[in-house]
Amino acid sequence: MADTTIFISILSALLAAAISPGPSFLTVSRISVACSRGDGLAAAVGMGLGGLIFSWLALMGLTSLLSQFRWLDVALKVLGGGYLVYMGLQSWRHARLPLVMAAAGPAERSAWRSFRSAFLVQISNPKTIVVYASIFASLLPTVVPPFFLATLPFGVFFVEFGWYSLVALGFSSDRPRAIYASGKALIDRSVGVMMAGMGVRLIGLADFR
């Protein structure tokens, strides 16, 4: 298989993984609809950076490291799951705040805060690196071309950023914002339950034996 074909195949597989609903999608869509288009795009950058880091770690063999040091795998699952639970509780807690207050936040929500929130959600799920590693392992040639190491992480960044930018642009438009404003409490609590549920499930995957 030609190097270009392999490169495109890997990015296509990762795009399909990004499109699958999960905590990252919930985070970007909620920030976009509750705050602003700029906040949503900042969150998309955070997702892209998280994807870049995950792809680099996958290329460097972190999956093998986690299999050798079980305590590290357990720690990542507990910390990541705990953060998702925290995000879910925060969403539930602020569900009844008016939309204007939610957009500003307790300390004037900014593009930086949106970026930070999205980035932390993206890297809080260690299962993602397993997906990255499995895709790379199945599609990369035995001898990895040097330029792959330099270009693949940035290709992943643009895949993640591109998809979540579309999510941000879609959910920050007038119609989704109107729907969100009319049912904010229910939507926020539903998102909170789903986010916390994902966190609990992630913690449950940790092998404490």
Question: Where do the structural domains in the chain lie, given as residue ranges?
Answer: 3-204
122 in Cβ contact with 47 (< 8 Å)? yes
Q: Hey, what are 117's tokens?
A: 């929130």
Residue whose C-alpha is closest to residue 33's, from 127, 142, 114? 114
- Number of other residues whose CB lies within 10 A of the CB of residue 82: 15
Q: Give pLDDT tens digits for 114-168.
A: 999 899 888 887 667 777 777 777 777 666 677 777 888 899 999 999 999 999 9
N residues, the chain: 209
Contact between 102 and 94 (Cβ < 8 Å):
yes
| Token pair of 99 as six digits | 């939309």
Phi-psi region of 189 (alpha: psi -120 to 50; beta: other; left: phi over 0): alpha
- The whole-model pTM stands at 0.75
Q: Which residues contact 183 (CB under 8 A, 6 or more apart)?
A: none
Q: What is the pLDDT of residue 102?
A: 46
